[in-house]
A = this chain, B = another copy of it.
Amino acid sequence: MIMGFDVGGTNARGLLVDPATGATVDDDRTSSDGTGPVLLEKLVTMTRDLVDRNGVELTGVGLAIAGLASSRGTVHYSPNLPEIVEFAIGPELEKRVGVPVAVVNDASSGAWAEAKYGAGRGCADMAFVALGTGIGTGFVVDGRLLEGANGFAGEAGHMVIALDGPVHHTGQRGPWEYFASGTALGRLGREAAAAGLFEAGITLAGAPDQITGFHVAEALRAGDAHAAVVFDAFCRFVAIGITNLVLVLDPSRVIIGGGLTDIGEPLRSGVDDWLQQVLLGADHRPQVEVVLAELGSEAGALGAALVVLEDPRHNR
């Protein structure tokens, strides 16, 4: 059996996974606060508990972390988990559990889970785009997870798409994430409301400045015409970033994941329609498929477990 963890800013989710099928055998959850050594202790304890109570043998552990996770097992930058930055969580955990440990960015692990057991099955070249508070991305190239020289590949949410655009909380001007995350969907809704063009949003949220992406999605579902205009603008922004990924990587499929997939088909078709319009040379190439993720919020932990089976470079 293999363990997969998804360590977020609040919780660490752990899955005990059958490597032959990708099926979850057991699972648990703990808080992720505290220093590196404290988190390490929690991960060791949860691993031992799950292994013991299922009476199985452990062969590897994968750790998905939101941030710049080096393939050598150290997190170099993580606004959500500041206390574990520069702590060698991968090598330390490996010492304690005695099996190989892989540390990987959470969007890359989500991409790998979708590739193996989700919407990416059978597709050798694909891009996974998780739309949530920010934008996380992960890529599969020629059947393998794209990790890059340091394990930092897949930070495409920070790509600049408006070089003189607004300053994002990262300090950059005009990154993709500023325009096309769930946070951005809320801002577009607030802007429309302030312009008198989103009454339904004000009704749902209580006040114009309380509108979030959730309210835009809610109004869209109810058939509100103003919400549809806001959402169309949002889908264009998502598509522009995806065109950049298509031009660089030439995937045959793009998988949209993250919290915004709750919107469902309107999100998929909205992005798909804009992608065909804004992708240069779209008439001269096979149409890029746009599909929704299938695995939901456990993809990160599952993918981390599956990565440890594949990649001999981790922690080396």
Q: Which residues of A contact B (CB under 8 A)?
A: 68, 76-77, 124-125, 137, 139, 141-142, 144, 146-156, 158-165, 170-172, 174-175, 179, 237, 240, 243-245, 247-252, 278, 280-281, 284-286
Contact in complex: B77, A281 (CB < 8 Å): yes
Contact in complex: A280, B158 (CB < 8 Å): yes
Contact in complex: B76, A153 (CB < 8 Å): no
Give the CA-CA distance A108 to B161 in the complex, in Å: 24
Contact in complex: A148, B162 (CB < 8 Å): no
Contact in complex: B150, A249 (CB < 8 Å): no
Query: SS class of chain A's interface: helix, strand, loop or mixed?
Result: loop
Cβ-neighbour of A150 out of B147, B247, B250 (below 8 A): B250
Give the CA-CA distance A164 to B156 in the complex, in Å: 19
Cβ-neighbour of A284 out of B77, B175, B179 (below 8 A): B77
Contact in complex: B150, A252 (CB < 8 Å): yes
Give the CA-CA distance A154 to B146 in the complex, in Å: 15
Q: A149-B251, A163-B237 are in contact. List 10 more A-B contacts (CB 8 A).
A: A76-B285, A77-B281, A137-B248, A142-B144, A149-B252, A155-B280, A160-B244, A162-B163, A244-B244, A244-B248
Closest to A71 in B: B250
Contact in complex: B159, A248 (CB < 8 Å): yes
Give the CA-CA distance A175 to B248 in the complex, in Å: 13
Contact in complex: A248, B250 (CB < 8 Å): no
Q: Given A248-B248, A280-B170, does the pair A163, B77 have CB atoms closer than 8 Å? A: no
Q: How far is the CB of A12 from chain B (nearest CB, A)?
A: 22
Cβ-neighbour of A250 out of B147, B175, B249, B280 (below 8 A): B147
Q: How far is the CB of A49 from chain B (nearest CB, A)?
A: 33
Q: How far is the CB of A180 from chain B (nearest CB, A)?
A: 11
Q: How far is the CB of A41 from chain B (nearest CB, A)?
A: 25
Q: Given A68-B284, A149-B125, does the pair A160, B243 have CB atoms closer than 8 Å? A: yes
Contact in complex: B250, A139 (CB < 8 Å): no
A-B pairs, top 10 by smallest CB distance, nearest first, are A148-B250, A149-B252, A77-B284, A153-B250, A125-B149, A152-B250, A155-B247, A76-B284, A159-B244, A158-B280
Q: How far is the CB of A133 from chain B (nearest CB, A)?
A: 17
Chain B residue numbers with a CB within 8 Å of A174 are 163
Chain B residue numbers with a CB within 8 Å of A250 are 147-155
